[in-house]
Amino acid sequence: MSLTELAAQVQSQSQSARSLSEAALARLEAASGLKATAWCVPDAALIQADALDRLCGMQKDAGPLAGVPVAIKANIAVEGMPMDCASASLQGYKAPATARAAYLLQNAGAVLLCGANMDELAIGTTGQHSVHGATGNPLAPGHVPGGSSSGSAALVAAGVVPLALGTDSGGSVRQPAAWCGVVGAVGTWGRVSRSGVMAHASSFDRVGVLSQSVADAALAMEILSGPDSQDASAAERDLPVLLKAASSGVEGMKIGVLKQAQAMADASVWEATQATVEGLQSQGATVKVLSLPELELALPCYRVLAAVEAISNLARIDGMRFGLKAQGEGFHQALAQARSTGFGPGVKERLLLGSYLAEHSADLVEPSRRLRAFLKLALFQLLGQVDAIVMPTTPGLPLAVGQQDGGTSDAFTVLSSLAGVPSISVPIGRVQGLPVGAQVLSRLWDERSAFRLAGAMESL
């Protein structure tokens, strides 16, 4: 059942918001083995649901998401709720206010059911590095769900909630969406406010949605979009109309395919993506083969810049302002103690890398910034020739638990992140029994074309 249909039932009182929340809480308990949650306060969720039921009982408009239970990634603030970002360094910290994105969902009538597990401090691609334990993949047991928005993807894939918020710096919404067989969408950088979200790499970070259908993602993105006085990067632009676009078809659209992606992807993943492209052709789209020889440079470029930005954003977790209160003779001793105790190996590795890169900025960081500008321009030029580009979301299949790929699963998603363009990952079937996704990239502020194409891909 779609978000629109669920909300209509609550609004008409044919089903109560409380019953929806109670059923979601029961599913959450049944799926506890996934370790997909960071926090859950059932009484708080039921209080929200009861308030919505009273509103509907007075024949008041409860909003387009009336009574819909949603999950919020653990690095997105909800006032009074834990916000540990899956890190021991922030255990016990509670959010002093609600993030703009979470507020907009509540204002639309959604019930904030729980916080979703994640890779520590949004650094990771597997969902295995969290103080709350490793998140499981409900569609591929024995395989990782992807990350860092692992819990959000797993909760939607398991049917616990129909919608979840995640954050995406280099692919952290779209990659787990692909590996868990759900839809993951991010808009243009600046389309959705980031106020109240723990920053990782600020020039890349985007709030995104994970859902069971493209239409549900479109509705959620409509609700989340807009300016915010608390976030200077949240753009003041006309709000997009996306729900209708998701069912508009692709007749007359031009689709681009990057030939370099074929060489970088597993043969089975590429074949599934190519079959999807052929299906879009049968629906009236035309296909153009495009070339971006520098595609393989996108991932190392992102890694350098994200690591440098991370050391700046995580500087506040020093044992004095935020983080474990450490004892030491001076600042440096306290800092070392707080971080050695509070941070996991993945975060420590990222901080060490970022510190090294910052010390060699002229040789490593500045060239990466120039490369980012070049890749952005090259992608913009390609998107000027087509309405959107289709490529695999990830080069390979979901990793088995314990398997390593060196973080290359983000090799395709970082292209959108470097340029800040909209991107949507859509499930396109299974290969060797494992979920596979293909992603759409469209022009800046043209989420409509992305959702048109994503909706057609889903219909295949």
Mean pLDDT (whole number) for 364-392: 98
Per-residue pLDDT reduced to its tens digit, 164-214: 999 999 999 999 999 999 999 999 999 999 999 999 999 999 999 999 999
Mean pLDDT (whole number) for 399-408: 90
- Calculate ∠ Cα 119-123-129, nearest 5°: 35
How far CA 45 is from CA of 17, 179, 423, in Å, comes to: 10, 29, 31
Please provide the size of the chain in residues: 460
Q: Residue 221: what pLDDT? A: 98
Instruction: Please give the Cα distance from 119 to 38 (Å, whole number).
Output: 11
Residue 337 has pLDDT above 80, yes or no: no
How far CA 1 is from CA of 6, 9, 209, 412, in Å, comes to: 7, 11, 17, 31
- Closest C-alpha among 250, 273, 227 to residue 452: 250
> pTM of the prediction?
0.97
What does the domain layout of the chain look like in residue ranges? Answer: 3-246
Q: Which residue has the tokens 């020093």?
A: 318
**Sorting pLDDT into bands at 50, 70 and 90, what band is 328?**
low
Mean pLDDT (whole number) for 148-171: 98
- Which residues are the active-site residues? 73, 148, 172
94-133 burial, b at 16+ Cβ within 10 Å, e below that, comes to ebeebbbbbbbbbebbbbbbbbbbbbbbbbbbbbbbbbbe
High-pLDDT (> 90) share of the chain, %: 92
**Sorting pLDDT into bands at 50, 70 and 90, what band is 289?**
very high
Where helices occur in 297-446 by DSSP H, the ranges are: 298-313, 331-342, 345-359, 366-383, 413-419
Per-residue pLDDT reduced to its tens digit, 15-68: 999 999 999 999 999 999 999 999 999 999 999 999 999 999 999 999 999 999
Do 56 and 136 touch, CB atoms closer than 8 A?
no
Structural tokens at position 254: 């031009």
- State the CATH architecture for 3-246: Alpha-Beta Complex (3.90)
- Closest C-alpha among 357, 347, 349, 346 to residue 304: 357
Residue 378 has pLDDT above 90, yes or no: yes
Residue 332 has pLDDT above 90, yes or no: no
